[in-house]
């Protein structure tokens, strides 16, 4: 547990209190609008594979480029107050400028304080980074080369600071008393994608070689690491850190997890299990690997983890149009990510009405030297025309730059929403 986990948050000054309550008051007013229930119902129907127009959601945007008229300029002191302030400011900014089909709830959630952290070193293996001039080009030196190296993988310590969790909840409750309700919420969104983490220790080139030359080593790494991931989830469940994931939050790399299929009948709200949640995984570095090898060295290890959950999501940036038949082996699969590099016709035919196509429009369109809204419009209309037979969500993510022109993102949202609404009437 971090040394500062039990330290109290500093008192909120009257100046900061007024700022936070004003922001929360506006969130409560927006959250009470009838359109929130309408959109909530659209997401519920989409996730149930019912007939509904394509839905639009935008996340993973370059917030450092979006400040317009000081709408994202913080005014609270640093620390807890500023964290709460920026969370509210970003939600309100998105509502004002690039909604898509976002849902704003008239509630503030207070999360848990716990771990393990995201440090890969907690799994017993320390990564060795190769720094580069461009932060996006950072690489990793392979540090797992033998079976003995693979056997150094350990299960990290899981901790849950109940006192800090309660303290944060009480402070938020006092802060927003009479303005907006505050609710406790445990973990609702997790990734269990082994290769996203293992590649920091192993290296892509070594993986591709070892699948042929040292398959036993690849299997040992995966077996040990997935054992650790399962044990982490076991501990989180036993400690009461999980929360039912059926609400207005992201699942996988896709849209909202709003559903009436979770939790299943007979669930105990006082003891949330993984089966009361969405699960997800992805094998991004297997994009050009055959379905057979993807199954052997990736999916067969992901499947048991995904099937611990009530519903699951698969994929991120990798094209999966040729691997839908393989993914059908995941019994609780509900959504499949489809990146900008898929063959749309193939994806549409193979997915049919059996899953949600979580389509990822190309974020590079927002980074071009010259903004071309007609390119965005034509591309989205074409994709939606080709997927009329499917259940579709448009998820704009991985937007690293908008050329410091916030209006590009605002216009993208308008174009996508209009395209989605037009598709419904086509």
**Higher model confidence: residue 182 or residue 120?**
182
User: From CA 398, how far away is CA 150, in angstroms rounded?
Assistant: 32
Give, as one character, the DSSP assignment of residue 159. Answer: E
Distance of alpha carbon 18 from its chain centroid, rounded?
A: 32
128 closest CA partner among 196, 202, 197: 202
Tally Cβ neighbours within 10 Å of residue 97: 18
**What does the block give as tokens for 106?**
């008239």
Calculate the dihedral angle through the C-alpha atoms of 188, 394, 62, 176, rounding to the nearest 10 degrees: -40
pLDDT for position 139: 75
128 vs 86: CA distance, rounded Å: 33
How far, in Å, CA of 140 to CA of 126, rounded?
11
pLDDT confidence of residue 135: 56
Give the residues across from 314 on adjacent strands. 281, 336
Which of 9-18, 29-38, 290-299, 397-406 bottoms out in mean pLDDT, i.e. has the lowest? 9-18
DSSP secondary structure string for all residues of 317-338: SS--TT-HHHHTTSTTEEEEEE
In this predicted structure, what is the pLDDT of residue 2? 47
CA distance 216 to 131: 30
CA distance 280 to 105: 24
Confidence of residue 134 (pLDDT cuts 50, 70, 90): low
Phi/psi at 256 (5° precision): -70, 145
Measured CA to CA, the distance from residue 347 to residue 384 in angstroms comes to 12
Considering only CA atoms, give the Rg of the chain.
22
pLDDT per residue as tens digits for the range 222-238: 999 999 999 999 999 99
Please give the Cα distance from 288 to 207 (Å, whole number).
13
Burial of 189 (0-12, 13-18, 19+ CB in 10 A): middle
Helix (H) or strand (E) holding 312: strand 311-314
Mean of the per-residue pLDDT values of the chain: 94
Residue 86 has pLDDT above 80, yes or no: yes
Backbone angles phi, psi at 105, to 5 degrees: -100, 145
Q: What is the mean pLDDT of residues 380-406?
A: 97
* Band (129; pLDDT cuts 50, 70, 90): confident
Which pLDDT does position 10 carry in this prediction? Answer: 84
Is residue 193 left, alpha or beta, with left meaning phi > 0 and alpha meaning psi from -120 to 50?
A: beta
Q: Tens digit of pLDDT for each residue in 165-181? A: 999 999 999 999 999 99
- The two structure tokens encoding residue 225: 């690491």
| pTM, full prediction | 0.94
Asked if residue 252 lies in contact with residue 337, where contact means CB atoms within 8 angstroms, the answer is: yes
Over range 103-122, report the average pLDDT: 89
CA distance 35 to 26: 15
- Whether residue 342 contacts residue 321, with contact meaning beta carbons closer than 8 Å, is answered with yes
Task: Transcribe 179-201 into DSSP letters.
Answer: TS-EEEE-B------HHHHHHHH
Which tokens go with 23? 């922001």
């Amino acid at each position: 547990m971090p040394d500062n986990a039990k330290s109290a948050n500093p008192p909120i000054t009257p100046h900061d209190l007024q700022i936070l309550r004003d922001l929360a008051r506006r969130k409560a007013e927006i959250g009470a609008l009838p359109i929130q229930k309408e959109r909530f119902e659209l997401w519920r129907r989409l996730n149930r594979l019912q007939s509904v127009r394509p839905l639009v959601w935008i996340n993973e945007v370059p917030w450092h480029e979006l400040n317009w008229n000081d709408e994202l300029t913080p005014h609270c002191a640093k620390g807890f107050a500023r964290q709460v302030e920026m969370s509210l400011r970003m939600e309100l900014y998105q509502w004002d400028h690039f909604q898509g089909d976002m849902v704003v709830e008239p509630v503030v959630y207070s999360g848990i304080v716990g771990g393990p952290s995201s440090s890969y070193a907690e799994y017993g293996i320390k990564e060795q980074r190769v720094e580069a001039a461009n932060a996006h080009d950072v690489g990793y030196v392979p540090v797992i080369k033998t079976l003995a190296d693979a056997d150094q993988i350990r299960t990290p310590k899981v901790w849950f600071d109940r006192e800090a969790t309660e303290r944060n909840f009480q402070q938020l409750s006092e802060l927003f008393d009479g303005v907006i309700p505050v609710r406790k919420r445990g973990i609702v969104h997790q990734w269990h994608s082994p290769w996203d983490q293992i590649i920091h220790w192993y290296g892509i080139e070594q993986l591709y070689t070892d699948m042929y030359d040292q398959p036993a080593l690849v299997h040992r790494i995966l077996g040990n690491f997935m054992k650790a991931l399962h044990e982490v989830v076991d501990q989180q469940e036993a400690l009461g850190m999980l929360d039912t994931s059926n609400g207005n939050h992201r699942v996988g790399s896709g849209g909202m997890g709003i559903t009436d299929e979770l939790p299943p009948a007979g669930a105990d709200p006082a003891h949330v299990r993984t089966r009361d949640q969405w699960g997800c995984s992805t094998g991004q570095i297997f994009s050009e690997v055959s379905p057979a090898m993807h199954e052997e060295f990736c999916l067969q290890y992901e499947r048991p983890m995904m099937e611990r959950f009530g519903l699951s999501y698969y994929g991120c940036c990798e094209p999966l149009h040729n691997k839908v038949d393989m993914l059908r082996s995941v019994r609780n699969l509900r959504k499949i990510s489809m990146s900008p590099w898929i063959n749309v016709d193939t994806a549409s035919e193979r997915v049919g009405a059996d899953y949600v196509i979580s389509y990822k429009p190309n974020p590079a369109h927002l980074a071009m030297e010259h903004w071309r809204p007609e390119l965005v419009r034509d591309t989205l209309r074409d994709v939606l025309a080709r997927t009329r037979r499917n259940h579709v969500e448009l998820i704009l993510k991985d937007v690293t730059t908008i050329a410091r022109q916030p209006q590009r993102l605002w216009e993208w949202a308008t174009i996508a929403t209009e395209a989605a609404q037009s598709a419904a009437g086509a």
